[in-house]
Structure 1
Amino acid sequence: MTTEEIKNYLRIDHTLDDNLIDNLYQSAREYVKNAIDVGVDVETFTKYKLFERAALLLTAHWYENRLASVQTGGGTTSIPYGVTPLIQQLRGQYYYDKEREVNDNQPAK
């Protein structure tokens, strides 16, 4: 995803924060990847549309809230609610695909 696409999603029309946005997006991609499987390359997940959505949500959250945690109604949250269900869905799809790949590569009996 390009910086311009990310900025469009964030509704940013200046270039002052381009480096910050790129850094936040790359960090968000790593965060989501590590929540699923730290042993694989981040590019493994680019085939999943939910991966980019989760990374964008997290990037937007980090851009808008530049603190370690954000005070909300009844407590604090370090990541937006929508990211966690996306990670859970990605984790399920990733391990399902991984298991299918293993089963498809087993010799016929």
Structure 2
Amino acid sequence: MEILTSEEIKNYLRIDYDEDDKLLQSLQVAATAYLQDAICNLEERMKKQEFKERTKLLCSVIIQEWYDNREHGESKDFNYTIRSMLTQLQAGG
């Protein structure tokens, strides 16, 4: 299951070069897996357009968080916005 295309990710992050494509692909796979584990019946629920758009936004925000903080090397909790968006999607979208 693919929530975002690589083009959508690069547009969201405002990246117009190819040097980080492998990293972005890895982050995309990890963010998708994270959301699949965190949200029950994600694939089925993605059939609703509003839920799909909100999930795509959350996936973009997660990828941006990981991309922007990739050099810190330490694990930290997601910020309030990400946690809130995730909780809303878990509760029904």
TM-score for the superposition, normalised by structure 1 = 0.66
Moved more, 60-69 or 9-18: 60-69
Distance in 2 separating the partners of 1:68 and 1:45: 33
Structure 2 residue 26 is matched with structure 1 residue 23: yes
For the pair shown, the structure with the greater C-alpha radius of gyration is 1
| Equivalent AA in structure 1 for residue 81 of structure 2 | G
Segments of 4+ moved more than 4 angstroms: none
Q: Judge conservation of contact 1:28–1:58 (CA < 8 Å) in 2.
A: yes
Shift of 1:63: 0.6
| Unaligned ranges ≥5, structure 1 | 70-76, 95-109
Distance in 2 separating the partners of 1:28 and 1:45: 17
Shift of 1:89: 0.8
- For residue 10 of structure 2, the aligned residue among 7, 10, 13 is 7
Aligned pairs, how many? 84
Distance in 1 separating the partners of 2:55 and 2:43: 10
Bigger strand fraction: 1
| Unaligned ranges ≥5, structure 2 | none
